[in-house]
């Protein structure tokens, strides 16, 4: 893997991890259409680290208060724990099934159409007015299940969690905050599992210059992506992402049928 490939992967990972357009789907597309293999384990781990960093920067006050067990953040902490339980169970029991069934480019195209549909429906029909005080355990479980569905390449993690929150009536700022905070243990958990495998296999052959470059690129583009998404949620419409998913999905389906 060369520098250009690593930079491309870092940019795609950083942007698509947070914008509701599916990071896993885009990486499958890169692998199949451009011959880029993102599967090097050490790089994967540091890309995970890179995508966690912008969340920690933007939501540092929230994260710090949670880690310090501040009384006013106990409910948020509790709801984050409740939310990650269904995600973890789905990841443990269903990951191989979902990724095996849906990792082809053609299936990614169809899943992107579904992601676009989620975004379209939430803009057309959802009413957002509830705050954190209104969030109950079952709301967090639903969001956690939605996050678990993002195991399927082409289904966006941020898209499903944010739309699941808004569909349940929660305001957009809370939807984004909860989506990003609940993603931290999930992303780190995935990285820890890969780290365990890496420790079993050793670090031999790792090009640390390229790996660090990929992580930095993912962190920078991830930060910009989160800021842009927060701006869209506050002042714009998610329809732009729905149209993007539909156009890309249709294009992939057509190209997969031709080749």
Mean pLDDT, residues 74-96 taken together? 93
Whether residue 236 is predicted with pLDDT greater than 60 in this model: the reply is yes
Within 10 angstroms of residue 237's Cβ, the number of other Cβ atoms is: 11
pLDDT at 204: 58
Q: What angle do CA 246, 251, 252 make, to 5 degrees?
A: 100
**More reliable by pLDDT, 61 or 189:** 61
Mean pLDDT, residues 86-97 taken together? 88
Mean pLDDT, residues 64-73 taken together? 94
Tell which residue, 126, 214, 136, has the closest CA to residue 164: 126
Per-residue confidence at 251, pLDDT binned at 50, 70, 90? very high
pLDDT at 203: 59
Whether residue 202 is predicted with pLDDT greater than 70 in this model: the reply is no
Tell me the three state secondary structure of residue 173.
helix
Backbone angles phi, psi at 170, to 5 degrees: -85, 145
pLDDT at 36: 63
Cα–Cα distance for residue pair 79/102, rounded to 1 Å: 30
Rounded percentage of the chain residues whose pLDDT exceeds 70: 90
Q: Which two tokens stand for residue 229?
A: 């998404």
pLDDT at 180: 97
* Summary mean pLDDT of the chain: 89
pLDDT at 100: 73
pLDDT at 259: 63
User: What sign has the CA pseudo-torsion 232, 50, 52, 58?
Assistant: negative
Mean pLDDT, residues 226-232 taken together? 97
pLDDT at 16: 95
């Amino acid at each position: 893997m060369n520098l250009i490939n690593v930079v491309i992967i870092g940019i795609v990972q950083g942007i698509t991890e947070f914008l509701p357009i599916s990071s896993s789907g885009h990486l499958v597309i890169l692998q199949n259409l451009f011959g880029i293999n993102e599967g090097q384990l050490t790089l994967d781990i540091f890309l995970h680290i890179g995508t966690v960093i912008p969340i920690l920067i933007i939501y540092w006050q929230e994260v710090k208060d949670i880690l310090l067990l501040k009384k006013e953040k106990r409910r948020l902490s509790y709801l984050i724990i409740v939310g990650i339980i269904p995600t973890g169970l789905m990841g443990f029991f269903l990951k191989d099934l979902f990724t095996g069934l849906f990792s082809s480019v053609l299936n990614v195209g169809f899943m992107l159409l579904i992601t676009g549909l989620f975004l379209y429906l939430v803009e057309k029909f959802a009413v957002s007015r509830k705050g954190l005080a209104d969030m109950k355990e079952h709301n967090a479980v639903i969001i956690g299940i939605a996050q678990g569905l993002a195991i399927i390449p082409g289904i966006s993690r941020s898209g499903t969690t944010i739309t699941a929150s808004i569909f349940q009536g929660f305001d957009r700022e809370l939807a984004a905050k909860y989506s990003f905070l609940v993603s931290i243990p999930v992303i780190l958990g995935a990285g820890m599992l890969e780290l365990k495998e890496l420790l079993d296999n050793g670090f031999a052959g790792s090009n640390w210059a390229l790996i660090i470059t990929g992580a930095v690129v993912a962190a920078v583009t991830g930060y910009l992506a989160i800021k842009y998404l927060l701006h869209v949620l506050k002042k714009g419409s998610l329809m732009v992402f729905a149209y993007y998913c539909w156009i890309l999905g249709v294009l992939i389906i057509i190209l997969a049928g031709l080749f």
